[in-house]
Amino acid sequence: MNKYQQLIDSDRQNIWHPYSALGSDQPIFPVVSAHGVRLKLADDRELIDGMSSWWCAIHGYNHPQINQAITSQLTHMSHIMFGGLTHPPAVELAKTLVDITPSSLDSVFFSDSGSVAVEVAMKMAIQYWHDKQQPEKQAFLSLRSGYHGDTFGAMSVCDPVTGMHSLFNDALAQQFFIDAPTSEFSSPCNSSDLNNLQTALAKHHEKIAAFILEPVVQGAGGMRFYSADFLNQARSLCDQYNVLLVFDEIATGFGRTGKLFACEYSNIQADIMCIGKALTGGYLSLAATLTNREISHTISNGEPGVFMHGPTFMANPLACTAANASIKLLLESNWQDKISAIESWLKPSLEKCDSLKNVANVRVLGAIGVVECTHAVDMKKIQTAFVEKGVWIRPFGKLIYLMPPYIINQTDTEHLCNAIYEVLNNET
């Protein structure tokens, strides 16, 4: 038995993969190295990565500057507890995040993952209202087709019907939902979307701590793009009804949509913002929840006078170092031009999929390309077909999408798009 098959067989004996059954016969592909935009399999095949490893490896793999920063940090310390201690990488990262995010966000809480960053945001909102003597405000308003993570609090604000967590509905906190905005990305917010939000807030605002949403792009809940003006209206209505506004920028942050943060397509700021994924350039798990001084001071001067959360690996020095290096690399590059170029390559290359009978819609924004099919894809079949085309694309449900690393070139981008067209064309 060759090494490639040995790895697969050993994996299936013991390992659960995301959203999979133990020992599943769904195809898995052993990777032994990664460089640039390519993944090298154990059988020496190479795949062009169209996923940025779930949207986080924005600089590609094995980047020398990030490698060097982490290697240097290892000679000092790999980890220390953050309770009662601090360290230069965390201090530098917090300052940078305050500098590059919307101006009102000046308090930073580090955590381990995007889901936990959302949990932290929800706890902040509840604790804030408790300290404002409004403890009845413990529920959340969210958008249908939204996705905010896999932990229990985060699951409760994901789509309750079509979302991947419907199995747990009876165990989750019951939240309030409105339909996802139908206003097009480049259009003003329509009256229907505005009325849905206003009606929900007018009816339930006394119970609602915060309205949480993914700005402009709904990610894993449907890869939908909607009007930035909806964010403007949301800010006004949240102020009117005394509800906090939370932006989940975990998938959209650090340039993916063409803005450094997707909320910049609007002219407003959230009370709390969650970031993660691309924060470290895909090197290590790290996330952060940022809030304004009103919330951080209210919690810090309330009862019990501390924010009630504290992960063991909070502000891990290696992860903070990777984040500092990744953000520096991004900001010192011509990233806006790169995103614009990727968008210009994706649009014509994916649009030809519109002619296929099994395609319902094609849409592109920044370095995000989406082909929505008329029916859910056969993952076992389509994943293998993509690998045979020399690409790594991981669809879900009806959606085949691309979020490539920012360093990708036109030839590799078009190869990814052509693979989608050819695989779907073979299905018709």
Point out the residues that are catalytic: 19, 147, 248, 277
Interior/surface letters 164-179, b for 16+ CB within 10 angstroms, e for the rest: bbeeeeeebeebbbbe
Instruction: Name the strand (E) or helix (H) holding 326.
Output: helix 317-331
Angle 150-177-190 (CA atoms, 0-180°, nearest 5)?
Answer: 120
Please, is 304 exposed, middle or buried when counting C-beta atoms within 10 Å of its C-beta (0-12, 13-18, 19+)?
exposed
Helix, strand, or coil (residue 151):
coil
Tokens of 399: 């959606």
φ/ψ of 352, rounded to 5, equals -65, -20
Residue 61 has, within 13 A of its CA and on its CB side, a CA count of 18
Beta-strand relationship, 46-49 and 391-392:
parallel
Strands 208-213 and 244-248: parallel
For residue 350, the surrounding DSSP H or E stretch is: helix 335-351
Name residue 93's amino acid: L
The stretches of 225-376 forming alpha helices (DSSP H) are: 229-240, 293-300, 317-331, 335-351
CA atoms of 51 and 388, how far apart (whole Å): 16
